[in-house]
Amino acid sequence: MAEDHDIEASGLLDGLEGKARTERTELIEWLLGEGFTFERIKNSFTPMLLAARRVLGDDGTYVSAREVCEETGIELQLLQRVQRAMGLPTVDDPDAAILLRADAEAAAYGQRFIEMGIDPDQLVQITRLLADGLSRAAEVMRYAGLATIFEPDATELTIARNAEVLVGEAAPLLGPMIQEMLRLQLRHLLETEAISASELAEGQRLPGARLVSIAFADLVGFTRLGEVVPPAELEGLAHRLTELTHEVAVPPVRFIKTIGDEVMLVSPDPVPLLEGVLTLVEASENDDEMPRLRAGMATGMAISRAGDWFGSPVNLASRVTSAARPGSVLVSESARDALGGDDDRFSWSFAGARHLKGISSDVKLFRVRRAAD
C-alpha cells in the first residue's frame, strides 16, 4: 500500500470525500501507471484528460522561443507574431522554457513558407484565419467528443480511458481530413481564379480587383426577435441560416462569411449566384420555424483579401439587401445588366431608384423572381 500512501501524501485528494475520493484515487493510480508524475497530475486542470492531451502532443516537454529559432532558423520576431496569431500567450522572455514543444513546432512551420517566398505579413494573416476557424471547429468537436465519452455512472477512470481511446482513433484522421478539405477549397479557387493579361504584364504578384457578383441575405426582424426568444434559440436560427446557405453555395458560388443574422456569398458568374439566393429565400418561406429572409445582389470590381471581399459591390449589395422587402430578392442595375434582362428563367420588375446609405447617387433597383412555368 506504499503507492496509496504516496497518493494520500501528495495532496491530490485534498477536499475529496466518499465516492469522489475513491474515483480520484483510482484515476491517479492509473495515471501513475501510464507514466505521469505526481507533479504533472497536480498541475493539470483536468487530470481525466491528461492521457488524451498526451495523444495530441502534450508530452510535458517545454522549450524556449530562442531554442525554436535556433532549431528551425525562424526569426524570433516572426515566431512571436505567428504564435500570437495562433492564439498562444505572449512570452516576454525568449529564453524562458514555457512553450509546449508541440505548440512551438507548429508555429515554426512558418519558416518553411517564408523560404518559399511567402510574405511574412501574409503568413501571419493566414495563420490567424486558420486559428480562428479551427478554434471554432475544435469547440464543436469538444462537444461531440464529450457526448461520446461520457456514459451514465461513468467513473473518472472510465472517462479518462474513453477519452484516450477516442482521441487516439480520431487524431490521426483529423490532419488528413482538414488537409483534404483545404485542398478542395484551393482547387475551387483555382478553378475560378482569373488574372487579367494587363495584371500579368504589370508584374503584379497577386490578382487585383476582378468582376464578381456579391449577394447578402439576412433574417428579417432578427434584432427584435432577440428581445423575446432565448439566446440559445436565436443562435439556432442563425446556425440554420448558415446551414441553408452552405447548401446553396455550389461552385462557382462561394460562401464567404456569417455576420450575425446575415450571410455573404460571391461568384464570378452572376447566374448561379442568383439561383442560389432565390433558393435560399424560398427555403425560408417554406420553413415555418425560420424568420423570413430578404436578399440583395450587386455586381462590380472587387478584391479578395484574407478570405474576405472588399470594394463597391460589397457595400452596394449590403445596402440593397437592407432595402429589400421580406421574402424578396432585389438586385442593383449592375447585377441586372450582368445577368441579362432577357434571361427567360427570371421575371423582373423595376423597384425604383433609391438613395442608399453610403452610396453617392441614386441606385436603380429591380426585384427578381423565378419565371412562371
pLDDT for residue 188: 65
Q: At which residue does the C-alpha cell 500512501 appear? A: 5
Q: Which helix (H) or strand (E) holds 351?
A: strand 346-354
**pLDDT one-digit tens code per residue, 45-71:** 889 999 999 999 999 899 999 999 998
**pLDDT one-digit tens code per residue, 307-322:** 888 888 999 999 999 9
b/e string for 348-364 if b means 16 or more Cβ within 10 A? beebeeeebeeeeeebe
**pLDDT one-digit tens code per residue, 260-311:** 789 999 999 999 999 999 999 999 898 887 889 999 999 998 888 778 888 8
Does CATH place domain 210-370 in 3.30.530.20? Answer: no
**pLDDT one-digit tens code per residue, 212-259:** 999 999 998 876 776 666 766 777 888 888 999 999 999 999 999 988
- Parse the chain into domains and list their residue ranges: 2-43, 62-192, 210-370
pLDDT for residue 8: 85
C-alpha closest to that of 19 among 148, 164, 156, 188: 156
Q: pLDDT-based confidence at 4, cuts 50/70/90? A: very low
pLDDT for residue 56: 92
Strand partners for 267: 213
**pLDDT one-digit tens code per residue, 182-222:** 898 887 666 555 434 444 444 544 457 889 999 999 998 87
Q: Is the pTM of this model over 0.85?
A: no
Measured between alpha carbons, how far is residue 361 from residues 166, 331, 364 in Å? 59, 16, 10
251/273 Cα distance (integer angstroms): 9
For residues 111-129, average pLDDT:
91
Query: Which residues, 6+ apart, have CB-to-CB distance to 236 below 8 Å?
Result: none
